[in-house]
Amino acid sequence: MTPDNAPPSFFKTHGLRVLLALISLLMIADLVLRGLNLAFEPAKTDVSDAHAGAWLWRHGQNFYDSALATRAHEQLVHASFQIAPVYPPTAFVLVSPFTFLPWGWANFIWLLLGLAGIAATIFFCSGFAALQDGIGGLWIARLASKNRSSRRSYGRTPQV
């Protein structure tokens, strides 16, 4: 076989997909190891401030009062950190259903929603990759497309 008609290497044909799969696995491992394992530990997380503010909103309190929010955070999360809620009121309304649950379960479900978001992103990106023709503006579909000739011709039928 000559170099001109040699079959393409595995990494030339599947390298991008392997890289995206590895990145996805690393993201999921990071979420599981640093997130889900610590869901029931008392700590300040990205949702603990919103959880305390939503609890105050649900009970008719001033959720922007930093001292009050810090005391609510200590009682709900069992972690002593000074907090200053900066989220808009709609964020507290959206998070308020989680305040009916104990903090550990609310945090665990929030983290599972984050994991579902990662899975949905992977699903939709792989779905875009399946759309080979007809959508010229989706660069991710062109980038991850199996049919390399459609990527070069930008949706036109390749010349044979």
Give the DSSP letter string of 35-55.
TGGGTTS----TTHHHHHHHH
Q: Which residues of 32-65 are buried (b: 16+ CB within 10 A; e: fewer)?
A: eeebeeebeeeeebebbbbbbbbbbbbeeeebbe
- Examine the pLDDT at 24 and tell me if it is beyond 90: no
pLDDT grade for 99, boundaries at 50, 70 and 90? very high
The tens digit of pLDDT for each residue in 104-152 reads: 899 889 888 888 888 888 777 766 555 544 444 455 555 555 555 544 5
Domain chopping of the chain, boundaries: 14-132
Contact 98, 109 (CB under 8 A): yes
In this predicted structure, the answer to whether residue 70 has a pLDDT above a threshold of 50 is yes
Is the per-residue pLDDT at 36 higher than 80?
Answer: no
What percent of the chain is modeled with pLDDT above 90?
A: 21
Nearest Cα residue to 80 out of 92, 69, 91, 88: 69
Top pLDDT among 49 and 140 is at: 49
pLDDT at residue 53, rounded to an integer? 92
